[in-house]
Amino acid sequence: MNVFRKFLVPVVLFLNLLQYAKAQSCNGTCNYNITTNYDFGTYTIAIGEQLCIPAGITFIGTITLNGGTVCNEGILAPFNIVVQSGIINNYGSIRYNGTLTLKAGSYLYNRNNVKLGGALLVNTNAQYKEFSSQAFIVTQVNGLNQDIVYGPTYEKNYGSLDRTLNATYYPVGSDNKLHFKYYNEYTKTNTPLNYNIYNLSHETVGGLPTLNKSYGVNQYSIDLSAVQNLVVGQYYVLEVISDKNEKFYLKFKR
Protein backbone atom coordinates (compact mmCIF):
# COMPACT_ATOMS: atom_id res chain seq x y z
CA MET A 1 0.00 0.00 0.00
CA ASN A 2 2.82 2.41 0.85
CA VAL A 3 4.51 1.64 -2.46
CA PHE A 4 1.26 2.41 -4.28
CA ARG A 5 0.87 5.70 -2.43
CA LYS A 6 4.45 6.69 -3.22
CA PHE A 7 3.68 6.08 -6.87
CA LEU A 8 0.26 7.77 -6.81
CA VAL A 9 1.29 11.08 -5.21
CA PRO A 10 3.79 12.08 -7.93
CA VAL A 11 1.26 11.13 -10.59
CA VAL A 12 -1.44 13.33 -9.02
CA LEU A 13 0.99 16.23 -8.69
CA PHE A 14 2.03 15.85 -12.32
CA LEU A 15 -1.59 15.85 -13.50
CA ASN A 16 -2.34 18.96 -11.45
CA LEU A 17 0.69 20.73 -12.90
CA LEU A 18 -0.32 19.65 -16.39
CA GLN A 19 -3.84 21.00 -15.88
CA TYR A 20 -2.43 24.29 -14.59
CA ALA A 21 -0.07 24.57 -17.55
CA LYS A 22 -2.94 24.05 -19.98
CA ALA A 23 -4.92 26.75 -18.23
CA GLN A 24 -2.03 29.17 -18.81
CA SER A 25 -1.57 28.59 -22.53
CA CYS A 26 -3.35 28.24 -25.86
CA ASN A 27 -5.11 24.96 -26.59
CA GLY A 28 -6.48 23.48 -29.78
CA THR A 29 -5.51 23.96 -33.41
CA CYS A 30 -3.96 27.26 -34.47
CA ASN A 31 -5.32 27.92 -37.95
CA TYR A 32 -3.29 31.13 -38.02
CA ASN A 33 -0.08 30.88 -36.02
CA ILE A 34 1.79 34.20 -35.93
CA THR A 35 5.48 33.34 -35.97
CA THR A 36 6.89 36.54 -37.49
CA ASN A 37 7.61 39.28 -34.99
CA TYR A 38 5.73 42.52 -35.72
CA ASP A 39 3.44 40.80 -38.19
CA PHE A 40 1.41 43.52 -39.92
CA GLY A 41 -0.97 41.17 -41.75
CA THR A 42 -4.76 41.24 -41.94
CA TYR A 43 -6.70 38.27 -40.55
CA THR A 44 -10.39 37.37 -40.34
CA ILE A 45 -11.09 34.65 -37.76
CA ALA A 46 -14.30 32.77 -38.51
CA ILE A 47 -16.28 30.28 -36.42
CA GLY A 48 -14.15 27.25 -35.56
CA GLU A 49 -10.88 29.04 -36.36
CA GLN A 50 -8.17 30.20 -33.98
CA LEU A 51 -5.39 32.74 -34.34
CA CYS A 52 -2.45 32.22 -31.97
CA ILE A 53 0.22 34.70 -30.92
CA PRO A 54 3.03 32.81 -29.15
CA ALA A 55 5.12 34.19 -26.30
CA GLY A 56 7.88 36.49 -27.55
CA ILE A 57 5.87 37.59 -30.60
CA THR A 58 4.32 41.02 -31.09
CA PHE A 59 1.40 41.36 -33.51
CA ILE A 60 0.69 44.83 -34.96
CA GLY A 61 -1.66 44.03 -37.84
CA THR A 62 -5.44 44.00 -38.23
CA ILE A 63 -7.85 41.43 -36.83
CA THR A 64 -11.54 40.91 -37.52
CA LEU A 65 -12.94 38.41 -35.05
CA ASN A 66 -16.04 36.89 -36.60
CA GLY A 67 -16.98 33.97 -34.37
CA GLY A 68 -13.54 32.44 -33.87
CA THR A 69 -10.89 32.68 -31.16
CA VAL A 70 -7.79 34.80 -30.65
CA CYS A 71 -5.33 33.28 -28.19
CA ASN A 72 -2.55 35.62 -27.16
CA GLU A 73 0.55 34.57 -25.21
CA GLY A 74 2.73 37.39 -26.57
CA ILE A 75 1.84 41.02 -27.21
CA LEU A 76 -1.35 41.81 -29.09
CA ALA A 77 -0.86 45.42 -30.23
CA PRO A 78 -3.10 45.60 -33.29
CA PHE A 79 -3.30 48.53 -35.68
CA ASN A 80 -7.01 47.79 -35.70
CA ILE A 81 -9.26 45.13 -34.19
CA VAL A 82 -12.96 44.54 -34.83
CA VAL A 83 -14.74 42.10 -32.55
CA GLN A 84 -18.03 41.04 -34.13
CA SER A 85 -18.28 37.89 -32.01
CA GLY A 86 -15.99 35.24 -30.60
CA ILE A 87 -13.42 34.84 -27.84
CA ILE A 88 -10.16 36.58 -26.94
CA ASN A 89 -8.05 34.58 -24.49
CA ASN A 90 -5.29 36.83 -23.22
CA TYR A 91 -2.35 35.18 -21.45
CA GLY A 92 0.10 37.91 -22.46
CA SER A 93 -0.37 41.64 -22.99
CA ILE A 94 -2.94 43.56 -25.00
CA ARG A 95 -1.92 47.05 -26.09
CA TYR A 96 -4.44 48.96 -28.19
CA ASN A 97 -4.60 52.72 -28.67
CA GLY A 98 -8.23 52.78 -29.72
CA THR A 99 -11.58 51.87 -28.21
CA LEU A 100 -12.24 48.15 -27.96
CA THR A 101 -15.90 47.21 -28.44
CA LEU A 102 -17.19 43.77 -27.46
CA LYS A 103 -20.41 43.16 -29.33
CA ALA A 104 -23.05 40.58 -28.41
CA GLY A 105 -21.53 37.10 -28.36
CA SER A 106 -18.02 38.43 -27.69
CA TYR A 107 -15.88 37.42 -24.72
CA LEU A 108 -12.57 38.79 -23.48
CA TYR A 109 -10.92 36.60 -20.84
CA ASN A 110 -7.91 38.39 -19.38
CA ARG A 111 -5.29 36.37 -17.51
CA ASN A 112 -2.48 38.92 -17.58
CA ASN A 113 -2.85 42.59 -18.51
CA VAL A 114 -4.77 44.85 -20.86
CA LYS A 115 -3.96 48.47 -21.61
CA LEU A 116 -6.17 50.61 -23.83
CA GLY A 117 -5.81 54.15 -25.07
CA GLY A 118 -9.57 54.47 -25.48
CA ALA A 119 -12.54 52.86 -23.79
CA LEU A 120 -13.69 49.29 -23.34
CA LEU A 121 -17.30 49.00 -24.45
CA VAL A 122 -18.97 45.79 -23.30
CA ASN A 123 -22.37 45.42 -24.96
CA THR A 124 -25.33 43.39 -23.76
CA ASN A 125 -24.66 39.63 -23.97
CA ALA A 126 -20.92 40.27 -24.16
CA GLN A 127 -18.47 39.73 -21.32
CA TYR A 128 -15.13 40.92 -19.99
CA LYS A 129 -13.83 38.60 -17.28
CA GLU A 130 -10.74 39.24 -15.17
CA PHE A 131 -8.62 36.28 -14.04
CA SER A 132 -5.44 38.19 -13.28
CA SER A 133 -4.30 40.10 -10.21
CA GLN A 134 -3.71 43.24 -12.26
CA ALA A 135 -6.13 46.08 -12.67
CA PHE A 136 -7.53 46.94 -16.06
CA ILE A 137 -5.67 50.02 -17.24
CA VAL A 138 -7.04 52.89 -19.29
CA THR A 139 -4.54 55.51 -20.37
CA GLN A 140 -5.00 58.98 -21.81
CA VAL A 141 -5.29 59.73 -25.53
CA ASN A 142 -4.47 63.25 -26.72
CA GLY A 143 -4.97 64.51 -23.19
CA LEU A 144 -8.55 63.22 -23.02
CA ASN A 145 -9.52 60.92 -20.19
CA GLN A 146 -11.32 57.88 -21.54
CA ASP A 147 -13.98 55.91 -19.70
CA ILE A 148 -14.85 52.23 -19.63
CA VAL A 149 -18.54 51.49 -20.18
CA TYR A 150 -19.76 48.14 -18.90
CA GLY A 151 -22.72 46.18 -20.16
CA PRO A 152 -25.02 44.26 -17.81
CA THR A 153 -23.04 41.02 -18.16
CA TYR A 154 -19.73 42.57 -17.12
CA GLU A 155 -18.06 40.74 -14.24
CA LYS A 156 -16.54 43.32 -11.96
CA ASN A 157 -12.82 43.89 -12.06
CA TYR A 158 -11.18 44.49 -8.69
CA GLY A 159 -8.62 47.27 -8.78
CA SER A 160 -5.18 46.52 -7.38
CA LEU A 161 -3.46 48.77 -4.88
CA ASP A 162 0.07 50.03 -5.41
CA ARG A 163 2.71 51.62 -3.21
CA THR A 164 2.98 54.64 -5.52
CA LEU A 165 0.61 56.70 -7.64
CA ASN A 166 1.06 56.97 -11.39
CA ALA A 167 -0.83 58.13 -14.48
CA THR A 168 -3.11 55.09 -14.61
CA TYR A 169 -6.47 54.95 -12.89
CA TYR A 170 -9.36 52.62 -12.16
CA PRO A 171 -12.57 53.59 -13.99
CA VAL A 172 -15.73 53.19 -11.96
CA GLY A 173 -18.32 51.24 -13.93
CA SER A 174 -22.02 51.80 -14.47
CA ASP A 175 -22.81 50.15 -11.12
CA ASN A 176 -21.24 53.22 -9.44
CA LYS A 177 -19.15 51.04 -7.12
CA LEU A 178 -15.45 51.04 -6.40
CA HIS A 179 -14.25 47.43 -6.46
CA PHE A 180 -10.77 46.81 -5.09
CA LYS A 181 -8.73 44.09 -3.44
CA TYR A 182 -6.22 44.28 -0.63
CA TYR A 183 -3.77 41.63 0.50
CA ASN A 184 -3.46 41.57 4.29
CA GLU A 185 -0.20 39.78 5.02
CA TYR A 186 -0.47 40.18 8.77
CA THR A 187 -2.36 37.88 11.11
CA LYS A 188 -4.91 40.33 12.51
CA THR A 189 -8.33 39.28 11.26
CA ASN A 190 -11.82 40.72 11.45
CA THR A 191 -10.46 44.15 12.29
CA PRO A 192 -11.46 47.41 10.59
CA LEU A 193 -9.62 48.35 7.42
CA ASN A 194 -7.77 51.65 7.83
CA TYR A 195 -8.49 53.61 4.68
CA ASN A 196 -9.30 57.05 3.27
CA ILE A 197 -10.56 58.53 0.05
CA TYR A 198 -9.46 62.00 -0.96
CA ASN A 199 -9.39 64.19 -4.05
CA LEU A 200 -6.31 65.36 -5.91
CA SER A 201 -6.13 68.35 -3.54
CA HIS A 202 -5.84 65.85 -0.67
CA GLU A 203 -9.26 66.77 0.74
CA THR A 204 -10.87 63.73 2.32
CA VAL A 205 -14.47 62.71 1.71
CA GLY A 206 -17.03 61.61 4.28
CA GLY A 207 -19.60 58.87 4.58
CA LEU A 208 -17.20 55.98 4.09
CA PRO A 209 -18.52 52.58 5.20
CA THR A 210 -16.70 50.45 7.76
CA LEU A 211 -14.78 47.63 6.06
CA ASN A 212 -13.27 44.69 7.90
CA LYS A 213 -10.20 42.78 6.83
CA SER A 214 -9.14 39.15 7.18
CA TYR A 215 -5.82 37.47 6.59
CA GLY A 216 -5.02 37.04 2.90
CA VAL A 217 -6.79 38.57 -0.09
CA ASN A 218 -9.80 40.75 0.73
CA GLN A 219 -12.21 42.02 -1.92
CA TYR A 220 -14.32 45.10 -1.33
CA SER A 221 -17.06 47.03 -3.11
CA ILE A 222 -17.86 50.58 -1.99
CA ASP A 223 -21.15 52.10 -3.13
CA LEU A 224 -19.99 55.57 -4.15
CA SER A 225 -23.54 56.95 -4.26
CA ALA A 226 -23.48 56.85 -0.43
CA VAL A 227 -20.13 58.65 -0.14
CA GLN A 228 -20.17 62.40 0.42
CA ASN A 229 -18.55 65.07 -1.78
CA LEU A 230 -17.78 62.84 -4.76
CA VAL A 231 -18.18 64.60 -8.11
CA VAL A 232 -18.89 62.59 -11.24
CA GLY A 233 -16.04 62.80 -13.73
CA GLN A 234 -13.42 63.72 -11.13
CA TYR A 235 -10.39 61.76 -9.95
CA TYR A 236 -9.94 60.47 -6.41
CA VAL A 237 -7.40 58.42 -4.49
CA LEU A 238 -8.11 55.42 -2.30
CA GLU A 239 -5.47 55.10 0.42
CA VAL A 240 -5.16 51.93 2.51
CA ILE A 241 -2.87 51.85 5.55
CA SER A 242 -1.58 48.48 6.76
CA ASP A 243 -1.06 47.42 10.36
CA LYS A 244 2.60 48.37 9.93
CA ASN A 245 1.69 51.85 8.67
CA GLU A 246 2.48 50.99 5.04
CA LYS A 247 0.42 52.96 2.54
CA PHE A 248 -1.11 51.60 -0.65
CA TYR A 249 -2.97 53.59 -3.29
CA LEU A 250 -5.52 53.27 -6.08
CA LYS A 251 -6.48 56.27 -8.20
CA PHE A 252 -9.97 56.08 -9.63
CA LYS A 253 -12.39 58.17 -11.64
CA ARG A 254 -16.02 58.35 -10.71
With cut-offs at 50, 70 and 90, classify the pLDDT of residue 68. very high
Is the domain of 33 the same as that of 139?
yes
Residue 216's pLDDT is 79
Tally of structural domains, the chain: 2
Question: Whole-number mean pLDDT of the chain?
Answer: 79
Task: Label residue 143 left, alpha or beta by phi (over 0 means left) and psi (-120 to 50 means alpha).
Answer: left
Residue 110's pLDDT is 85
Is the domain of 136 the same as that of 43?
yes
Is the domain of 41 the same as that of 148?
yes
Lowest mean pLDDT segment, chosen from 90-99, 138-147, 188-197, 203-212: 138-147
C-alpha–C-alpha distance, residues 226 and 228, integer Å: 7
Q: DSSP string of 153-206?
A: TPPPPPEEPBSS--S-BEEP-TT-EEEEEEEE-SS--SEE-EEEEEETT--B-S
pLDDT at 20 over 80: no
Q: In the listed set 126, 154, 182, which residue is the last one of a domain according to the structure?
A: 154
9 within some domain: no
pLDDT at 189 over 60: yes
pLDDT at 53 over 80: yes
Residue 8's pLDDT is 41
CATH number, residue 197: 2.60.40
DSSP conformation class of 93: E
Q: In the listed set 129, 154, 179, which residue is the last one of a domain according to the structure?
A: 154
Residue 163's pLDDT is 85
Alpha helices in the chain (DSSP H): 2-23
Domain that holds residue 186: 158-254
Residue 184's pLDDT is 84
Residue 83's pLDDT is 96
